[in-house]
Structure formats: C-alpha cells, structure tokens
Amino acid sequence: MLVRFWGVRGSTPTPQPENMRYGGNTSCVEVRVDDTFYVFDCGTGFRNLGKHLAAQAGAVEAHIFISHFHWDHIQGIPFFSPLYENRDSRFLFYSSTRSGNVTLRDVLEDQMVAPYFPVDMNQMAARREFCEVREGRIALDGSCRITATLLNHPQGCLGFRMETRSGVLVYATDNEPGDAFFDKQVRTLAEGADVLIYDAQYLPDEYAAKRRGWGHSHWREAVNVVMESGARELVLFHHDPDHDDECIDRIVREAGNYYPRVRAASEGMEITL
C-alpha cells in the first residue's frame, strides 16, 4: 500500500509563502493497493493529482471516496484533467447524500452549473459512475475491504477504514469531539490501524474558546483517539488556514510529548505499508 498526500489543508486553499512547506491545497489523499487506485476526497489537491496522472500514458480507473460535500472536499473535481481526456478512463465516486431526494451525481454536478462554473460535466469524456453508500462495508472487487462510518460534522461526514494484506489505513477528517456516540464511532473505526489520518484543524485553546460546533477536532483529541484506539501511527490532517508552517511544527512537537509516532501531513508526503 502506498499513501500519497496531494492536499492537506482545511476550509480553503492557502497559497501563501508561510504555508508552503506543509502545503496550501485542500484535502486529497491517493492510495495505491497493488494495481488498484483509490482517492479520498477531491479538494484542490485533486487537480495536482490529475496533472500527475495526465503525464502518464493510458486510461485511468479509480475509486474515489468523498467524505462529504463541503467546498474544500469537492472543489478540485472541475479541474481534474483526466475526467476530460480519455473515454476509456473510468472513475467511480462513492459517498452518501443521506437523502432520497437528491442523487450523488446531482450533488457533484451542481457545483458546475451556471452561474458557478462555465463548463458542465457533459464535457467530460471519461466514464463516471456514482455509488451511494451508507455506513458499513462498501462492496468492492479485489482484496481491499473498505468500511464507512458516520462522523460528527455539520451536514454529515463519512470516515473510511481500508483493510488490505499490507495493513490498515483509516481516513477520518472533519470530526468534532464531545459527543459520546461519535467519540466511540471514531475509536472503533481506528481500532488497531497501522496509520490514522485524523482531523487536527484547531489548537485546543482555539477550539475551547470559539470553535465549538464547527465540526472539527484538535491535536490533543487526535492523540486521545490514536492512544485509545490502539492505532500505531498518527498523521495530523486538515490544517487550519491560519496555521502556518511554524505553527504546525509546534503542534507536532507538542503532540509528540504525548505520543511518539505522530507527524503532520504535508503535500507530497508518502507512506508505504
């Protein structure tokens, strides 16, 4: 299993110089398992992943899991060049609308209708399939098992657990602590994982003072989750737009005082299991 980070920022892209070491693109994580290609979230980092894929010859097939539909998790889709280029490429989108009144395809295409965007999805040549999923195991072919769990975030969010022969990866961004049901949910999702990618948007003091109810966590809770779930390595993710590189360095040092195997996600970072 190869895990590669293309976007690690939360809320909005932050292309200013003081953020460049960790990166300013919003959420997008690529995972390769044997010959199968997976993506978690389609923030602005999805565009750079597309450029990387476009430089390679041939069609692409990918399973794309979208945690939820806030801008920072879908805004890269209109700029993902492989969607436009090859009729033999195939992209399967998985998420939950949590509603019978709107389809997953509608949700993703609506960001590209007038007056929000000048090109609609009809211009895309690649085959696109839209798979509504709920909590529980997601049916996939091959040796990879993926389970979805609902997290604590306004308008809903899914966390994902990927189990393979190489190891277990958990992607759990946009989760707020403090609700007993959801606190148990995320610890069950992360149980025994080799790598836990977890929401650490805020500083503990920021969260306590004025961020409650906004749907995000902080590094101290991230440490609690990794220790209480028995996960082996913690990757802090979804960095706040106002946290520059030096701030994230401090967060990693402080978190390391409580748990030794912790690092902050950065664009281009790779993990191999």
Residue ranges with strand state E in 140-182: 145-150, 158-163, 168-172
Give tens-digit pLDDT for 179-189: 999 999 999 99
User: Which residue range forms the structural domain that includes residue 88?
Assistant: 2-272
User: How many C-beta atoms surround the C-beta of residue 125 within 10 A?
Assistant: 13
- Report the 3 state secondary structure along 188-214: HHHCCCCEEEEECCECHHHHHHHHCCC
Looking at residue 141, its pLDDT comes to 75
* CATH classification at residue 140: 3.60.15.10
pLDDT, average across residues 69-76: 97
Residues 120, 122, 126, 129, CA torsion sign: positive
- In the chain, the percentage of residues whose pLDDT exceeds 90 is 92
Please check the confidence at residue 143 and state whether its pLDDT lies above 80.
no
> From residue 128, how far is each of 20, 50, 157, 203 by CA, in Å?
33, 15, 22, 39
In this predicted model, which residue has the larger pLDDT, 13 or 143? 13
Looking at residue 100, its pLDDT comes to 66
- In the chain, the percentage of residues whose pLDDT exceeds 70 is 99
Looking at residue 139, its pLDDT comes to 82
Please check the confidence at residue 271 and state whether its pLDDT lies above 80.
yes
What are φ and ψ of residue 127, in 5° steps? -70, 135
Q: How far apart are CA 100 and CA 95, in angstroms?
A: 13
Q: What is the dihedral of CA 183, 187, 188, 193, to 10 degrees?
A: 160
Q: What is the dihedral of CA 120, 16, 266, 220, to 10 degrees?
A: -110
Let me know: does 3 contact 196? Beta carbons within 8 Å: no
pLDDT, average across residues 161-171: 97
Provide the number of structural domains found in the chain: 1
Which residue has 């060049």 as its token pair? Answer: 81
Q: How far apart are CA 32 and CA 104, in angstroms?
A: 24
Looking at residue 228, its pLDDT comes to 98
Q: How far apart are CA 213 and CA 229, in angstroms?
A: 24
Q: Mean pLDDT across the chain, nearest whole number?
A: 96
Q: How far apart are CA 42 and CA 80, in angstroms?
A: 9
CA 158 to chain CA centroid, Å, is: 10
pLDDT, average across residues 27-44: 96
Give tens-digit pLDDT for 254-266: 999 999 999 999 9
Give tens-digit pLDDT for 89-130: 999 999 999 766 889 999 999 999 999 999 988 899 999 999
Looking at residue 99, its pLDDT comes to 67
Looking at residue 142, its pLDDT comes to 74
pLDDT, average across residues 189-216: 96
Burial of 133: CB neighbours in 10 Å, binned 0-12, 13-18, 19+: buried
CA atoms within 13 A on the CB side of 175: 31
